[in-house]
Amino acid sequence: MVHAETRRRGGSLKDIDQISGDVVDLAMRVHKSLGPGLLESVYETVLGGKLAEAGYKVDRQKPVDIEFEGSVFPAAFRIDLLVDDRLLLELKSVEKLNAAHAKQLLTYLRLTHQPVGLLINFGGATLREGLKRIVNDHKPSASSRLRVNQRNGD
């Protein structure tokens, strides 16, 4: 996947942390309005639409090819939402996230060579408990205590 340059919006450059913040704000509004427990596709449709209304480029269910030992495997997986060609969103609607969900997104980040993704679970009573920021060798401006895949006993 080709890395896109940061898009110009409102005369300024949006960095990945600003985009992430906008996504989280919108996701919280969607969760508060729709409530927990709907199908994942409902949250994907609404969140993707609201992000597009906010001026972001949004791809839903974007197929991703992978290469392994010289062979290319088309549409090996799909990204739920890809925002501005650089922020991966993996959406869930389950009672509680587990370690496999975070590993899934980290694998997607590694295979696409992208630095940051958000794992968002709309199934819980509050969105805050179901929100994880996954970092793939990215030097974030956010505090290290906010990163998920650290080596501190997680």
Tell me the pLDDT tens digit for each residue of 3-61: 333 343 443 447 889 999 999 999 999 999 999 989 999 999 999 999 999 999 999 99
Domains, the chain, with CATH or none: 11-146 (3.40.1350)
CA atoms within 13 Å, Cβ hemisphere of 102:
16
For residues 119 and 101, the answer to whether their CB atoms sit within 8 Å is: yes
Q: pTM for the complete prediction?
A: 0.79
For residues 125 and 131, the answer to whether their CB atoms sit within 8 Å is: no
